[in-house]
Structure 1
Amino acid sequence: MSCSFPQPPLPPPPAEKHSHSRPSSSNLETLRSASEAGKKRSWDERRLVGSVDYDKGESSVSVEVAGVGREQIPARYRLRVYGSRLQKDWKLSEVVERLLRLNHWDDVDAVLNCWVGRFARKNFVLLIREMSNKGSLECTVQVFQWMKAQKNYCPHTDIYNMMIRMHARHNQIDQARGLFFEMQEWRCKPDAETYNSLISVHARAGQWRWATNIVEDMLRVAIPPTRSTYNNLINACGSSGNWKEALKICKKMTENGVGPDLVTHNIILSAFKSGGQYAKALSYFELMKKTNISSDIFTFNIIIHCFVKLRQYGRAVEIFNSLINKRAECRPDVVTFTSIMHAYSICGQVANCKTVFDMMLAEGMKPNIVSFNALMAAYASHGMHEEASATFDEIMKTGYRPDVVSYTSLLNAYGRSGLYEKAREIFDMMRKRSCRPNIITYNALIDAYGSAGMLSEAVRVLREMEGNGIQPDNVTLSTLLVSCGRCGQIGKINSILSLAKSLGIEMNTTAHNSAIGSFMAVGEYGKAVAFYRMMMEKNVRPDSTTFNILIYGSCKLENFDHCFEFLDEMKELNIHISKEVYSSLICARIKQGNLAEAEKTFSMMKACGCLPDVITYTSMISAYRTTDDWRKAWDVFVEMKVNNIQPDPIACSALMEVLNRGCQPALVLQLVKIMREENILLNSRAFFEIVSACSILRDWKTASELVENMEVSLSLLSVGLLNQLLLFLGKSGKIETMMKLFHKIIASGSAVSFTTYSVVLKNLLAAGRWRKYIEILQWMEDGGLRPSLQMYRSVLSHVLKDKSMKHAVLIRERINSLREKVG
């Protein structure tokens, strides 16, 4: 059961009391305008009509336009429609619904020729307006063509304005311009709205010169530009990135007495954004605040975008938080949330990116495809293919169609996880679903194969890419060159460089850096330096990454003179010294044995405002190992914590070594507690240093706890470390703990050496555990290791002492057997 109920029209104004005086001229004008308005309402009335289906529990609200019906059409047409069952007195809204239900090959004329309202000219304007509101361009054009063929049709400026606006929304510039000339042929005089619509269509296409010419034509026919005119013209300049011209028009707009509004300011900000002038956009925003211009969410979205582009992520998040706290004044929209997700994605903070996405859902907003893609990009950057795949499935469930960015992000996630086969599956699925891969997609697939060491497959993808008409770029070359370095194939490096030359690709700085790094990776130091010299000859400016590769490679080969020569060249070119370059220089000084210069470089790095990273701090800590200066090493570690740099296992193990060499085992165990609190894993080197510290302090409890926590990484530990730990536990009298560790070593599949058995047997014998001793001897033989004569002789005295003749006989037999083999 369903029912519909029209919303009652607005009640008529209360009737004025009759006056015996004669109405004035102003009253007559008022009455005349009221009468005209009443006539207009008779055919231009729009009302809300609601319907409820109680069975399905659904409700809907629509706008109903009656239009001119049978009773209001001219009298000369009424006889043609009265008594004809083919002529339908539909309301105008019904006609629009019938037209929209037609397929593009159906006959529009058949519907319109049955409509009684076609005999009223006033209906033509209403019909075009309602059709354009629905947004169906093809159907509206057919209706307009039918309309022009009617005898009672009279060209109207409003009709052409609506048609031009509709073509503008669909970016059909030529058709909109053709309508502009057509209306003048029909003697319809363009008005300000006509010109504004025509300027708008050129603004969407970024054709600002055409838009400027239209404004000049507008002035030539004595039509004063409105604020919308100027806004459309500024938008035309801004969308094409011509922000300087946009500012000039804004100034001219003010001079002509048309003040800018918030839309104007937003368009100027958008022009700065399109032109890459992010700092200028922020300055303009500050000027807006000083002049007390209230901003809307569109303004804040542009500002957040600019902060993200300038890598000022903290300020972008501050604005976002302020919008969340003051949501009554300016409510964040989907674009706002997506921009913040993108910021967190760039920073590598995947958890925060997902939190913002969940917050958007909690706010009742429906994420768009860009929001989903931002979340997938965050997962892809960390190789989180399971999460990326789940997000991709969510896109499908939501009803969106994944675009090329969605597929590329999922492909990249699998590629970074080393799952090149799955990456290829996504690529093939993408093409099956008629989504054309772009150059970024191909580069991601090439990187997936290159990361897996499958260089031939990566080159095959390159050939496939060329066959599909996509020209490789510098990113493609850089990806292939890095893959060559990983695979150690110098011949392929030269082939790819020749390919770039044959394709006419001008290699940029990043591509040159990849080539230099690949030559360094395969040990071709001379070719790397020669390529750098060739880069300078081609006037390709190097950057800090270029010099970091060269300085680090020279340091690795102990070509220290070249290190500092490259540093001097870097200073001559006024290239900012990055923290990576500083780290390489510190490493070079340490390898030289010049600790004082390393400390000087470290201090210079901090003085320049370049915050050291964990690699730099680790290098300085390791440097103090040669001087056993544990205090300075500890101070560096504390400074790293103060600067919120998270230590890694390498930094902690390096500090442990310095502390042990400086006879500070207690600090080693203190450092272990810090690592546990901050969930820092222990590597094999750290295990070794902890065991050494426990040996010095005779701390069997800590050593026992260490045995409990080393199951996961047991197979990665060196034999020497395991032997030392077994020896320490045995000497401390912790035989059960020692045997527990020994059983774990056997179970882990680690290679057990003769020395390991010797350590265990010696400790068992010292503890009087000769029966367990004999059992371990049997394990040793079963493992393919022959026990020595001394091992049997050592246990024989203990067996005879306990008068176990059975075991004594067996041991003597083994001793005689070994003597015969040796003799």
Structure 2
Amino acid sequence: MPPPRLLRPGLGVLGRADVGVSSAAGRTPLKNVKKRLDARADAKAWACTVTEALADSINSKNWREALQVFEMLKEQPFYHPKEGTYMKLIVLLGRSGQAAQAHQLFDEMLQQGCQPTPELYTALIGAYCRSGLLDESLQLLTNMKASPLCQPDVYTYSTIIKACVDATRFDLVEAMYKDMAERSISPNTVTQNIVLSGYGKAGLLDDMERVLSDMLDSTTCKPDVWTMNIILSLFGNRGQVEAMEKWYEKFRSYGIEPETRTLNILIGAYGKKRMYDKMSAVMEYMRKLAFPWTTATYNNVIEAFAEVGDAKNMEHTFNQMRSEGMKPDTKTFCCLINGFSKAGFFHKVVGMVKLAERLGVPTDTSFHNAILGACAKADDLMEMERVFMHMKHKQCDPDAMTYSILVEAYRKEGMTDKIYALHQENPTLVPTDLVMV
């Protein structure tokens, strides 16, 4: 009798796997594992796709879409948002004027167990500052100072100081400086440039000079090319060319080299004073040192000729601008419309409006104001009113200049009823004294 054959468990006589219930049971777990692996791979692929969509929404500054995608991601058990994601969203919401939404997201982050940082607090403060909500910003600053791990730094104070400057709350600027000094936080060049620009725009020249002197004497926040541009722009806009030139040389003596914007400021200032020789000299200097002529360069030259109604030179400059491949912007067309209007070439005004439309140039309030001014100058009140209606239809908000053009045009024709109607429409921008004159 032959000895029994030893069989490996699960194998038949031929060494093949036994067919039956046990083998089916052996295959089922493998299928489930494969399904789970496939599902996990699909989930990872989905997560990558949606995460990319979130990044795209943030980069395109679409805050509504970004929040929707973020909510989708948070519903997934494998997704845990990090501090960096919250930071990007809070910054986006702040730049989009959605301070309340930014604060809601900040609170949600804390509830999720993420620890706040000085950077996150500063981003939230920035959101309120951009919306002009200073009281809320100052309350958050107080909260930061009470948190040992979230103490404010120079960037926090610079953010609040900029909002104070924008609101012309220079009393708060001085309070922030005092607060910084008590905490041994020194302002940096960016902080000082913000304040310098604010004092200059407000006409507080003594305060501006004090800040500038502090910068010149400082070892930690020396003036830079931005400082130079602020000062030159201030004196240039005020028509104080000699002071502008003096400061230009002074900054050069400190080793600060001009950039394209610096030279554009000089061109603009010389153009407004009709100092065409100096304007041309700066442009030649730019060519010599390989500084590019930008759209702003051409705009300054076009504006200079437009101010005096020199249509020939203005048009020549515009043609040169286009031949060099430089793209005209809204300001370019505003200057062209004003210049042709002053020269009495109203058919060319129409041509410029059509060209701007064809090139897809954004048509903002200043653009409509230029057209309104041209219509008023041509005594074409019917077209002026049509442009005004079109402006409102496009939800392009009229400003003080808009109403000033309309009121002057109606007053010239003795149309007091039309002026009264404008006052009824916007009593803030058309005060009673304009109606009664």
TM value normalised by structure 1: 0.42
Report the residue type matching 2:424 in the other structure.
G
- The answer on 1:322 being equivalent to 2:300 is no
Root-mean-square deviation (Å): 3.7
Matches within 5 A, 1:482-561: 499-500=436-437
CA distance in 1, matches of 2:288, 2:406: 44
- 1:399 paired with 2:356, answer no
In 1, are the aligned partners of 2:199 and 2:207 still within 8 Å (CA)?
A: yes
What residue identity is the alignment partner of 1:265?
M
1:459 equivalent to 2:416? Answer yes
Query: Against the structure 1 CA distance between its residues 197 and 116, is the aligned structure 2 distance closer, same or farther, given a 3 Å change threshold?
Result: farther
Deviation digits for residues 543-567 of structure 1, max 9, x if unmatched? xxxxxxxxxxxxxxxxxxxxxxxxx
1:413 corresponds to which letter in structure 2? Answer: A
Cα gap change, 1:404 to 1:233, in 2 (>3 Å)? closer
* Residue 334 of structure 1, CA deviation: 2.1
Instruction: List runs of 5+ in structure 1 lacking aligned partners.
Output: 1-81, 478-498, 501-823
CA spacing shift, 1:294–1:85, aligned 2, 3 Å = closer
2:304 equivalent to 1:343: yes
Q: Partner of 1:282 in structure 2?
A: 245
Q: Where do 5+ consecutive residues of structure 2 fail to align? A: 1-38
Counterpart secondary structure, 1:409: helix
> What CA distance in whole angstroms lies between the structure 2 residues aligned with 1:146 and 1:217?
30
CA deviations over 1:634-691 (Å, ceiling 9, x no partner) = xxxxxxxxxxxxxxxxxxxxxxxxxxxxxxxxxxxxxxxxxxxxxxxxxxxxxxxxxx
Q: Within 5 A, what are the aligned runs for 1:460-479?
A: 460-468=417-425, 469=427, 470-471=429-430
Question: What is the rounded CA distance, in whole Å, between the counterparts of 2:398 and 2:155 in structure 1?
Answer: 42
Structure 2 counterpart of 1:300, from 252, 263, 273: 263
TM-score by length of 2: 0.74
1:132 aligns with 2:91: yes
Does the CA-based 8 Å contact 1:95-1:112 persist in structure 2? no
Determine if contact 2:271/2:304 at 8 Å carries over to the other structure: yes
Q: Equivalent residue of 1:118, what SS?
A: coil
Change (3 A) 1:471 1:401: same
Give the conservation status (yes or no) of the 8 Å contact 2:310–2:343: no
1:199 counterpart (147, 155, 161)? 161
1:424 aligns with 2:356: no
C-alpha deviations, 1:249-295, integer Å up to 9, x for none? 12123333233222222233344456665542232113234555311
Residue by residue over 1:160-196, the C-alpha shift from the partner in whole angstroms, topping out at 9 and shown as x without a partner, is 2333345555655444434323333443111222222
Give matches, 1:797-816, under 5 Å. none
Greater relative contact order (Cα 8 A, min sep 6): structure 1 or 2?
2
Partner of 2:80, secondary structure, is helix
TM-superposition CA deviations, 1:719-773 (whole Å, max 9, x none): xxxxxxxxxxxxxxxxxxxxxxxxxxxxxxxxxxxxxxxxxxxxxxxxxxxxxxx
The 8 Å contact of residues 379 and 387 in structure 1, kept in 2 or not, is answered as yes
After TM superposition, give the deviation of residue 217 of structure 1 in Å.
0.8
Matched length = 387
Question: Is the contact made by 2:241 and 2:270 (CA closer than 8 Å) also made in structure 1?
Answer: yes
Answer yes or no: is the 8 Å Cα contact 1:380–1:388 preserved in 2.
yes
How has the CA–CA distance of structure 1 residues 116 and 214 changed in structure 2, closer, same or farther, with 3 Å as cutoff? farther
Contact 1:155 1:186 in 2 (8 A): no
Q: Distance in 1 between matches of 2:106 and 2:178?
A: 29
- Contact preservation (8 Å) 1:462, 1:472: no
Shift of 1:308: 3.6
CA contact (8 A) 2:102 2:127 kept: no
Rounded Cα–Cα distance in structure 1 between residues aligned with 2:134 and 2:297:
31
Distance 1:131 1:362 in 2: 43
1:302-329 CA-to-partner distances (Å, cap 9, x unmatched) read 2233334444344234323432x2362x
Distance 1:162 1:332, change over 3 A: farther
Map residues 559-638 of structure 1 onto 2, 5 A cutoff. Answer: none
Contact 1:414-1:420 within 8 A present in 2 as well:
yes
CA–CA distance in 1 between the matches of 2:71 and 2:125?
A: 22
Give, in angstroms, the shift of residue 218 of structure 1: 0.9
Residue in 2 aligned with 1:514?
none
Aligned pairs (5 A) from 1:692-771? none
Name 1:253's counterpart in structure 2: 215
2:186 counterpart SS class: coil
Q: How many Å separate the matches in 1 of 2:402 and 2:40?
A: 66
The Cα offsets for residues 8-42 of structure 1, whole Å up to 9 and x where unpaired, read as xxxxxxxxxxxxxxxxxxxxxxxxxxxxxxxxxxx
Tell me the equivalent position of 1:690. Answer: none
> Separation in 1 of the partners of 2:64 and 2:382?
46
Question: Structure 1 segments of 4 or more deviating over 6 A?
Answer: 82-88
Return the alpha-carbon distance in structure 2 between the equivalents of residues 178 and 93 of structure 1: 35
Given that residues 243 and 271 in structure 1 are in contact (C-alpha distance below 8 angstroms), is that contact kept between their aligned partners in structure 2?
A: no
Measured after TM superposition, the shift of residue 377 of structure 1 is: 0.6
The CA deviation at 1:128 is 1.2
